[in-house]
Structure 1
């Protein structure tokens, strides 16, 4: 049994196709198939059910894949140990970011990070929190930036910053004349929300305590982007809540519609998250240091109350 064979097993389990797995591993299909067959003969079991389309794992195959992922991760750690000993910070690093963080945070730190660590080849992808956790556990992401806490025992979290929620309230809204708003002022029925799947949406719902059932007297309007929510709000269709960093890019006219909360301000906790195996920790440390250093100049809020991103949950944590 070799590490290479285990890499092949993981590739087939992911793609459910020998040809695609071979392309992913940069080998020919006959080479990959031969190595898998040798491994199955050595173990005297079938890892894959080739009669199914697409290919499926057998019962024992699922257990083998789980253990193979652990072994491959531990073998990668050897290179990590060598890199850390040499003080080397470089190589490919796959980073995920959730949609409500990526547009504002990425431009703030990317240029600085690339300049400071030119040997790191960042591959950045916008993903939902659910997709991020799945890909981290499957070894397809090295780390991600997301709203926390996530309460996932396979994931480690290192806080980068706390980002307050800010009310965006147009002139036609009942709360527009109120200088500072309170959580008790919010009503979910006149709140414009992001589409389901966005953890910022879940934070807003948690902040409002309960999501009322739709009735004939109310409508619920959802959108896939914060920019669209602002435009809809300007049309008099309701108010919305924005992450603080999004408010910094608004023009002066739109900023007149911003209303901060009475302290402690509701806020989301933003962290860099990664697998508990702590692979490529030197690059994770570098990202954490660069981002947290830059963000301190943009967000000076300290008196905040963290709202959980976990879907429709009333958990709060004071800071």
Structure 2
């Protein structure tokens, strides 16, 4: 039986914050507790925002945290061919279509729809479900955009995807900390329809988070995905893609989040919680672990 494999997959597009520190340290702790491997993956698809300097500083922060790095590091920017092949598989199944509505057009459509007290459905993240080009554009407009150089997104036809799978799906949800790591898994029912037609790629971006994460987890042999609870519901989408692409199913573990004073999840724009700023203020490694309740 192969050893468990955990991963931490940050984007080098800003400085790591306390939430990243918690996730990285929990993954290291779980890998050690289960005699497993810990792998680092750099989600650097955005070549404009992800810079060598930010990557270097991120690796410095991880070194300060005591996070071990197993070489070679997997960089998404070097894996575009893998995402292209996965996308082609889904296209060959007839499950992908080009969507031309802009974000502004979607917002306007939803605002107009809701003026009379009606509610347009949202996905688990709170974003409006994609209405379809036909809801906004005439047939002539749709054909014009398709034949022009207009920007587009490649979306998964979720209804057809679920119909093709033809059976209920679930995922294994395990504990993320302490004794819970060793408790029996729960089976969580997949509710992918709640997401609507998710984006798989864009004209100028070869992959989306949903597509790249399942491809990369399979490539790295990840057996245990330990990540924040903000991604709990997205697991439904990932299970659908794994089933369609015939990829292995990892065990999922979703850990608690570190929230800011406003009650929201931390973001890289919160400089007061970046690891670098805390280090500059003199925080020690031990103090950080106490703050993270580790």
Which TM bucket (shorter chain)?
under 0.3
More strand by share: 1
Highest Rg: 1 or 2? 1
